[in-house]
Structure 1
Amino acid sequence: MKFLKLNKALIAALALTTVLYSCKKEKPTETADLQKPEAMSVNKLSEIKICTERTFDDGTTPRGAVIKSSKWTNGSTIKVSLNGGTAVVRAKVIQFAKQWEQYANIKFNFVTNDNTAKIRVTFDSGGSWSYIGKSTPASGATMNYGWLTDTTDDSEYSRVVIHEFGHALGMIHEHQHPLVSIPWDKPAVYAYYAAAPNYWDQATTDNNIFAKYSTTQTNYSAYDKNSIMHYSVPNELTIGDYEVGWNTVLSPTDKTFIASVYPF
């Protein structure tokens, strides 16, 4: 009888230990690998490739003043010049960018090496980024793809190209949605983005990660964790058990939202 009681006590202790261990979160490291299947095996801290959005005056305008003022006239045909890159890369960009045309009353007219185009795409190293909407400088690139090659997987083309052209249509980063509530581990986030390949200071991280857009100056729908405009959020950079994997396609909310912004 005593042996049975001892076994029950031992089993209970082991069960409690297992629960406590499973809730423990490892300290964030640059090479930490997420083990959860839903986070996808490629969602590593060391492999996060993100874009940065740009405004016409490079960020001196208060955040949230962009999407309404940068929205194109509904029904517009927007000239997009692809400057550089291989024929394969340019064809892939066109293929995935045009997915927006299925849901928004906007057309893209793709050309090459035309400096009169409102959207001017380059393929230089140094990251991927886009200006937001129609508010772009008169010269120079307005969008760039820094890591796309002839052999890049279609899923990565889909993730990056649809995302950047979402910015070009005036969409913001979803993790900066006016109503978002991500439980960021701020010291871990600052440490990660201060290291290679970003080398961001605290102010840049605040601007690109933590700043939210205004509800009064932004057209927005409900916060959408599955949006193509959402950054990947590794579990190591949050408090508790919260993460967002790689969103590679337009979500249902993306489709309905852009249709409301540019209705047919």
Structure 2
Amino acid sequence: MTARYCSPAQAPAPAFATGPAAERLGALASGRRMWANGAVLHYCFFDRDTDASVIPVPGTGMTRRVSWAGAEEQRDVVRACFEDWQDLGVGIAFAEVDDPSEAELRIGFQLGAGSGSAVGRDALSAGRHERTMNFGWDLTAPGERGTALREIGHALGMLHEHQSPFAGIHWDDEAVYAGLAGPPHHRSRERTHYNILRKLDPDEVNRSVWDPESITEFTFPSGLALEPEQYRAGLTPPGTLSAAYKEFALRWYPPAPPSGPATLVPFRSVPLGLGPGGQADFVVDPPETRTYTLGTFGDSDAVVVVFEERDGETRYLAGEDDGGTPHNATISARLVKGRRYFVRVGLYSARGSGETAVMCW
């Protein structure tokens, strides 16, 4: 089977403050793409004639439309892979919707365009009628189901395993460039460097141990890796969710506690008591309809996300990341009496000895 490589969308590095805030880059970089645990991620498939790319026709000066619609059997593979992730027991839920404007994850099937996905919350920066995930080859072919599992992993915020600085892979760079320049990949040197050869910063990866069986690890043939020696003849991961990655997913997205979230009452602060990487969830039942401010205070780096419950399902309403600056994350949102809202606070790191708390006012 020909090795196929996906290309998560290239996103600019976040602009963090200098000075003391720069010292907190590690905590921020490792979690900034992850979703708030407990969220429902809605996905949709493009399926209309208007859902298409306009691409040039080589040598003609003309363009043509290429559909993003996928056959039902292709969609079924992706649906089954969402179920595989869900069956791990993660605190994230997935729901299919028909309207792209209602989906955080929008999936196309443009053949020949490669497979790739926005990484985690980077999907929120894409336009509402743009793809955040594409599949460029037949997912029903033998061995290709792992592609869908991998792209969903990227959508959850997980990066390429082979780019981990802890992998210890020493590539034959020119062999990699040459191997990916021709069919079926046709990749530029820049794209190959970004998705294959470039090492992630140690502070950017989420795990300190390389997992060669990870779903985000690529198959690569012999002659590309010089070290570790046992992989000079190539590497073929199983294309399934490895035990280490299951543990990783459950650590980032643990199941909700049976007790449910605490209630956040207006004008009453609640201490967070979180460690780095922790999350606290609260429910808000507004006593009146008005614009509320929700946020943290104290010496910490945090992200605050607000969801609204609609028809028994949580929908993203607003979010704010303090970005490692001295300013606390706060959100102003109109909350309606009779509706229920959920506030989720994720802590990157706490500084000093002061108390960190959340309040609605």
Give the TM-score taking structure 1 as reference length: 0.74
Could you say which structure has the higher helix fraction?
1
Q: Which residue of 1 aligns with 2:81?
A: 96
Q: Which residue of 2 aligns with 1:75?
A: 38
2: CA distance, partners of 1:72 / 1:132:
10
In the alignment, is the contact (CA less than 8 A) between 1:66 and 1:132 conserved in 2?
Answer: no
Change over 3 Å in CA distance of 1:52–1:67 after alignment to 2: farther
Q: Which runs of 5+ in 1 are unaligned?
A: 1-41
2: CA distance, partners of 1:215 / 1:261:
18
Match of 2:6 among 51, 54, 64: 51
Correspondence 1:257 to 2:245: no
Match of 2:134 among 137, 144, 149: 144
Change over 3 Å in CA distance of 1:213–1:94 after alignment to 2: same
Q: Which residue of 2 aligns with 1:23?
A: none
2: CA distance, partners of 1:50 / 1:210:
13
Correspondence 1:190 to 2:181: no
Output the aligned Cα RMSD: 2.0
Give the TM-score taking structure 2 as reference length: 0.55
Deviations 1:194-221 (A, max 9, x none): 2223333333222111112222233224
Highest relative contact order (Cα 8 Å, sep 6+), 1 or 2? Answer: 1
Q: Which residue of 1 aligns with 2:105?
A: 119
How many corresponding residue pairs? Answer: 212
How big is the shift at 1:111? 2.0
Q: Which runs of 5+ in 2 are unaligned?
A: 15-25, 47-68, 256-361
How big is the shift at 1:113? 4.2
Q: Secondary structure at the match of 1:81?
A: strand
2: CA distance, partners of 1:263 / 1:220:
16
In the alignment, is the contact (CA less than 8 A) between 2:119 and 2:157 conserved in 1?
Answer: yes
How big is the shift at 1:169? 0.2
How big is the shift at 1:234? 1.4
Match of 2:165 among 147, 153, 178: 178
1: CA distance, partners of 2:237 / 2:36:
31
Correspondence 1:105 to 2:91: yes
- Give the ranges of 4+ consecutive aligned residues of structure 1 lying more than 3 Å apart after TM superposition: 64-67
Could you say which structure has the higher strand fraction?
2
Q: Write the letter of the residue equivalent to 1:245.
A: T
2: CA distance, partners of 1:141 / 1:217:
25
